Amino acid sequence: MLSIAVSVVFTTTRSGRRKLKKQPAHPITIEQRIRALLPQLTPGEKRAARALLAAYPIAALGTIAELTALSDASAPTILRLTAKLGFDGYSHFQRAVRAEVQEKMQSPLSLMDSAPRVPTAKSGFFGGFINDITAALQRTQRLLDNDVLEDAIATLADTSKRIHALGGRSSHVLAKHLVFHLHQLRPSVHEIAAGSVPVYHQAADMGRSSVIVAFDFRRYERQSIDFCQQAAREGARIILVTDPWLSPIAEVAQWVLPVEVDVPSPFDSSLAAMAVVEAMLAGTLARLGPTARERMLRLEQGAGIDKVIGSAENTAGEKAPQKNNRQKKPQQRRPSR
């Protein structure tokens, strides 16, 4: 599998070098910390780490004896591993995993019940909310790695690739927005959506020329995960837009773009994700230049947008009947016989 460009842990530059990127806004997840630590572990610690990763987070929530049997590593080895991860003991490690899982699985209802999420500021409700949204965009800017975003945009501008966008329950809006506008800039842009052909069947048509832009946020969707995993096995490459905790799709994605979703609302915000979509569109347009303009012109001409509908035409494109302004002469009545 290719190196995963996970911005909150490692990013892979075009030269192939991997670099650690520190993020003050959100600490990296425990799963990511385990992966980052793998090269520094002893053989026994690596067995324990791989056992954790193979069935994460379930494996991390069992007893130490169960993990010992699962990994063929001793209990002291597992304790050394948790210490290297920065925990005081196995119970401390498990508490952190449980808290992280809980945060990932937050629903709008649990977010509303867990803490007050209504902005309060002297500038009023809307002013306070705008301040919070602005802060979320700034945190997104710190989360994103510019090299990863630039590489993703360059791939979208490669007209030899077929672009497919996939969203979930609410994130399908982002996929539709990307497809609608990207299709105006370049050919071969499609949305993966349920219809006459089920979503999971469409993965069979993916290949090395396919690029999938997936939008998946916490309470991650099994259908999207399964689709991307199958498409990756078929050779497709994946651009993932997700939250700071990372969808499981990150495991098979080449470009991972984490965005802030937490705002004072019971619902996660899509504003930062939409900003990334707009950046993708602007970057693609800048790279395609005259080619994109020519395509937009052809589309407008084909749709007849450059034709003005005058008052003499109705909405069906037919000429409206002309009014005869001349007064009709009154008909003379014939005398009755």
Amino acid identity at 247: S
DSSP 231-284: HHHTT-EEEEEE-TT--GGGGT-SEEEE-----SSSS---HHHHHHHHHHHHHH
pLDDT of residue 302: 77
pTM of the model: 0.63
- What ranges do the domains of the chain cover? 41-105, 127-297
Give the Cβ contact number of residue 120 at 10 Å.
Answer: 9
Name the 3-class secondary structure at 166. Answer: strand
pLDDT of residue 21: 40
Per-residue confidence (pLDDT) for residue 107, from 0 to 100: 52
pLDDT value for 36: 82
Q: Give the model's pLDDT for residue 13.
A: 44
Question: DSSP of 129-155, one letter per residue?
Answer: HHHHHHHHHHHHHHHS-HHHHHHHHHH
Q: Where are the beta strands (DSSP E) in the chain?
A: 5-6, 10-12, 18-20, 162-166, 189-192, 210-216, 237-242, 255-258
Q: What is the pLDDT of residue 212?
A: 98
Angle between helix axes 172-185 and 271-288 (nearest 10 degrees) is 10
pLDDT at position 324:
54
Residue 57 preceded by cis peptide, ω within 30: yes
Its CATH architecture, for the domain 41-105, is Orthogonal Bundle (1.10)
Query: Given 3-state DSSP classes, what are the helix, strand and coil percentages for the chain, each rounded to the nearest 5?
Result: 50, 10, 40
What is the number of other CB atoms lying within 10 angstroms of the CB of residue 110? 12
| CATH number of this structure's domain 127-297 | 3.40.50.10490
Sequential pLDDT tens for the chain (337 residues): 333 334 333 444 444 433 334 343 445 788 888 888 888 999 999 999 988 887 788 888 888 888 998 899 998 899 999 999 999 888 899 989 888 877 766 555 554 544 445 555 566 778 888 888 898 899 899 888 899 999 999 999 999 999 999 999 889 999 999 999 999 999 999 999 988 898 989 999 999 999 999 999 987 899 999 999 999 999 999 999 998 877 888 888 999 999 998 777 777 889 999 999 999 999 999 999 999 999 999 998 877 655 655 544 544 444 545 555 555 555 555 555 5
Least Cα distance to 56 among 311, 251, 308, 307 occurs for 251
**What is the predicted pLDDT for the residue at 121?**
53
**Per-residue pLDDT at 336:** 54
Between CA 4 and CA 8 the distance in angstroms is: 11
Q: What is the pLDDT of residue 203?
A: 94
pLDDT value for 11 = 43
Q: How far apart are CA 82 and CA 89, in angstroms?
A: 6
Q: Contact, 44 vs 77, CB < 8 A?
A: yes
